[in-house]
A and B are shown apart, each in its own frame.
Chain A
């Protein structure tokens, strides 16, 4: 053998040692190395953008979870209430009482600063109205000290977060330079401070001039009711359709047509579904506008192709030998599918469903067309069933509305809303992974 490998000029076969790599091999090795570096570069670019995205979201959005509050101990006696209720401008009377109380508290701590009722309104909005409605609802709280946590206006909030400074501020009806002296004084007295922004998480949307009071809670509820509709409709319909198409339907032109259409539907822009929903569900069927029920129906149409495609893929992935085995012992086709094929396909179906739901949760365009925009989410729905039919918004639509508003305070809320939305999506994906692990069985 060694002799043969030395040289055989007759056959033209030249043999070289295995330790010396020839030209072709080197070329192939170089090509492979190049390909690997392309791959690494691609992954690196992806990671870089992910990091950029996350840092910008976190840096812009985290301040939304902080709010600036003014906490004042306030006592209203019955004669004071009666007197205020007797005046012509009732809320102004309450405001004046609050101003008096606040100056008293400041002077008690040895801080002197000049301010009037108008300055307080610039700082805290309509304090008088807040106090009046509180006592109207809780008349029993008269004569005892109550701690009022009042959210400061967006400009004051911006002053604390560095968005507004003494140099850049211009006197306007929103905030004046002199007000910042009052803010500093209040901060010195410990009356104004930063706190965790619960109202942002649990609250409802506010008016366009009050970013401080805006919360995403109501639209989270709206999103929840939409997801209930989407899950309740698209999972059974999608799974039933896929099982029929995959296991029972005959192979003919008609089923081919259905298949092609399902694949095409998955690629239809979401706004098309939105206008379809507007035309069919609202204008033709007269379902309530802006309702999570309609939003859910539209998103169901969008999610169905995703679920059908992933379900069919996971049904296809179940080895045919399992079907044979079941049919071989005399199971009917339906028994074979439901006892054996479906349980094996379940992890794939669940993952596909949750991915489809996550996609639906982040969808904005169709919701804009059926009126589920932010400004309707002013309060929580009145009970579970009303949740489906009462006007509400959804998280992404709410974020869109905030981002479109003029006040910079809303811009921060939009980023904060994105953090909440991403947390929901992340949770859903984690659930998908856990379910997949849990139900995965080998065969």
Chain B
């Protein structure tokens, strides 16, 4: 699989979607992210790996300004989405989050119907002019979430009544419903069983054709399976960033090697 993706990558060169330069994040006095430079390519799955508390989730949450909700969190440096600084004063995080969707660790569907879960984003962003357009968006999103066939007969059923894997795919469908360009996934499979994990991973691979996907994961196998680029974080530093195949087979930094061989973490 890694070889395959490498071949694929060689064929078409990708644009840079997100460019982070010298990003620092502080939680109060704690310096959580130090000098991180990352270039995230379009139509690529980028995986963030690293031991717990290394800052990979924090960095991910910077990419759609979800850290704004934490009072003591402070972000410095530049994060450019298509060349625009997302931390610019004129940027409304609400608009940013419509462009940069997010899927969370624990499946968190709204306690509403499956339909309303998916339709909520398009509704608040005014993406549909009427009911039939909204129906179309919901169906398209559920299809992209690879869950349409399972729920098409019970769109009025509560989203919380689905199984864990279905809920997570519903959350992915909800995230893609607002037509984002980047999809952030914070350990999307950590609460799922192996079968549901396989389904979600397969879905991530499909999503790559449309979106730039950034995934935080604790499972190195998962990173190796789904991503083309991998970033290894350790103690708030970005230790190594490169081709997934290269990181796992031929890491440059000794810390990366220790981590992927299980000596630290």
One of B96, B104, B120, B121 near A321 (C-beta < 8 A): B104
Specify which chain A residues have a CB less than 8 angstroms from the CB of B125 in the assembled complex: 330
Quick one: CB contact mask for B108-125 with A, threshold 8 Å, 1 for yes? 111100000000110011
In the complex, whether B171 has a CB less than 8 A from a CB of chain A is yes
CA of A326 to CA of B96 in the docked complex: distance in angstroms?
14
Instruction: Kindly name the residue among A330, A442, A443 whose own CB sees the greatest number of chain B CB atoms within 10 A.
Output: A330
A330 and B104 contact, CB distance less than 8 A: no
Compute how far the CA of A329 lies from the CA of B127 in the bound complex, rounded to whole angstroms.
13
B120 to A, closest residue via Cβ: A329
- With an 8 A cutoff between CB atoms, is B97 at the interface? yes
In the assembled complex, which residues on chain B have CB atoms less than 8 Å from the CB atom of A321? Answer: 104, 106, 108
What bracket does the count of chain B residues touching chain A fall in? 20 to 34
Give CA–CA (A331, B96) in the complex, Å.
11
Which A-chain residue is minimally distant from B109 (CB atoms)? Answer: A325
Mark contacts of A304-331 with chain B using CB atoms, 8 A cut-off: 1 yes-contact digit, 0 otherwise.
0000000000000001011111111111
Our pick among B95, B96, B171 for the contact of A325 (Cβ within 8 Å) is B171
How far does the alpha carbon of A322 sit from the alpha carbon of B174 in the complex, in Å?
A: 13
Would you call B110 and A322 a contact (CB within 8 A)? yes
Partner among A328, A331, A441 whose Cβ is within 8 Å of the Cβ of B66: A328
Q: Report the minimal beta-carbon distance from A194 to chain B, rounded to whole angstroms.
A: 56
**Residue interface bits B58-83, CB-to-A below 8 A is 1, else 0:** 00000010100101000000000000
CB distance from A323 to the nearest CB of B (A): 7
Contact status A330-B178, CB under 8 Å: yes
A251 at the interface (CB under 8 A from B): yes
A332 at the interface (CB under 8 A from B): yes
The reply on A250 being an interface residue by CB < 8 A is: yes
Q: Check A329/B178 contact, CB under 8 A, given A324-B66, A324-B104, A335-B124.
A: yes
CB distance from A251 to the nearest CB of B (A): 6
**A339 interface contact, C-beta 8 A:** yes
Is A369 located at the chain interface by the 8 A CB criterion? no
CA distance A321 to B108 in the complex (A): 6
**Chain B residues in 8 Å Cβ range of A331:** 94, 120-121, 124
Whether B94 lies near A322 (C-beta < 8 A) is: no
Q: B223 at the A/B interface (Cβ < 8 Å)?
A: no
> Cα distance A333–B109 when bound, in Å?
17
Taking a contact as CB atoms under 8 Å apart, the answer to whether B66 and A330 are in contact is no
Are B66 and A329 in contact, CB atoms less than 8 angstroms apart?
A: no
Tell me how far the C-beta of A345 lies from the nearest C-beta in chain B, rounded to whole angstroms: 12
Name the distance in Å between B167's Cβ and chain A's nearest Cβ: 11
Separation of A328 and B171 alpha carbons in the complex (Å):
10
* Docked complex Cα distance between A192 and B175 (Å): 80
Contacts of A327 in B (CB 8 A): 66, 69, 97
Contact call B175/A328, Cβ cutoff below 8 A: yes
Our pick among B97, B124, B160 for the contact of A328 (Cβ within 8 Å) is B97
Q: Which residues of B contact A329 (CB under 8 A)?
A: 97-98, 101, 120-121, 124, 174-175, 177-178
Query: Does residue A344 face the partner (Cβ distance < 8 Å to B)?
Result: yes
Interface status of A340 (Cβ within 8 A of chain B): yes
Complex Cα gap A328–B97 (Å): 6
**In the complex, A344 Cα to B158 Cα: how many Å?**
14
Taken together as a complex, chains A and B put the C-alpha atoms of A322 and B104 apart, in Å, by 11
B110 lies within 8 A of A326 (CB): yes
B94 adjacent to A325 (CB under 8 Å): no
Query: Which residues of B in the span 190-217 have a Cβ within 8 Å of any Cβ on A?
Result: none
Query: In the complex, what residues of A have CB within 8 A of residue B66's CB?
Result: 324, 327-328
A407–B47 Cα distance when bound, in Å, is 86
B102 lies within 8 A of chain A by Cβ: yes
Closest chain B residue to A332, Cβ basis: B94
Q: What's the least CB distance linking B254 to chain A, in Å?
A: 36
Please name all residues of chain B whose beta carbon is closer than 8 Å to the beta carbon of A251 when the two chains form the complex: 71
Q: State in angstroms the CA–CA spacing of A324 and B124 once bound together.
A: 16
B161 to chain A, nearest CB (A): 9
Residues of B within 8 A of A319 (CB): 108
Nearest A residue to B103 via CB reads: A328
**How far does the alpha carbon of A325 sit from the alpha carbon of B64 in the complex, in Å?**
13
B175–chain A nearest beta-carbon distance, Å: 7
Which of B97, B103, B108, B110 is the one whose CB lies under 8 Å from A330? B97
When the two chains form their complex, are residues B69 and A323 in contact, meaning their CB atoms are under 8 A apart? Answer: yes
Bound CA–CA A183/B182 (angstroms): 94
- Write out the residue numbers on chain B whose beta carbons fall within 8 Å of the beta carbon of A250: 71
Within 8 A of B (CB), among A38-56: none
How far, in whole Å, are A328 and B98 apart by their CA atoms in the complex?
A: 8
Distance between A255 CB and nearest chain B CB, rounded to angstroms: 11
Write out the residue numbers on chain B whose beta carbons fall within 8 Å of the beta carbon of A441.
111
Which chain A positions have C-beta within 8 A of B120? 326, 329, 331, 339
Nearest chain A CB to B112 CB, angstrom units = 9
User: With A250-B71, A330-B121, A340-B110 as given contacts, are A325 and B104 in contact (CB-CB < 8 Å)?
Assistant: yes
Task: Report which of A323, A332, A340, A442 forms a contact with B160, defined as CB distance below 8 A.
Answer: A442
CA distance A332 to B120 in the complex (A): 12
Q: A443–B160 contact, CB under 8 A?
A: yes
Chain A positions 336-368 with a Cβ under 8 Å from a chain B Cβ: 339-340, 344
Q: Which residues of B contact A335 (CB under 8 A)?
A: 124
* Contact partners of B94 in chain A: CB under 8 A: 330-332
Residues of chain A within 8 A of B160, CB atoms compared = 442-443
- Given contacts A324-B66, A328-B103, A441-B111, 7 further A-B pairs with CB under 8 A are A321-B108, A324-B104, A325-B109, A328-B64, A328-B104, A329-B178, A331-B120
A residues lining the B interface (CB < 8 Å): 250-251, 319, 321-333, 335, 339-340, 344, 441-443
User: 20 A–B contact pairs at CB < 8 A?
Assistant: A322-B108, A325-B104, A325-B110, A325-B174, A326-B120, A327-B69, A328-B101, A328-B102, A328-B103, A328-B104, A329-B121, A329-B175, A330-B94, A330-B97, A330-B124, A330-B125, A331-B120, A331-B121, A331-B124, A339-B120
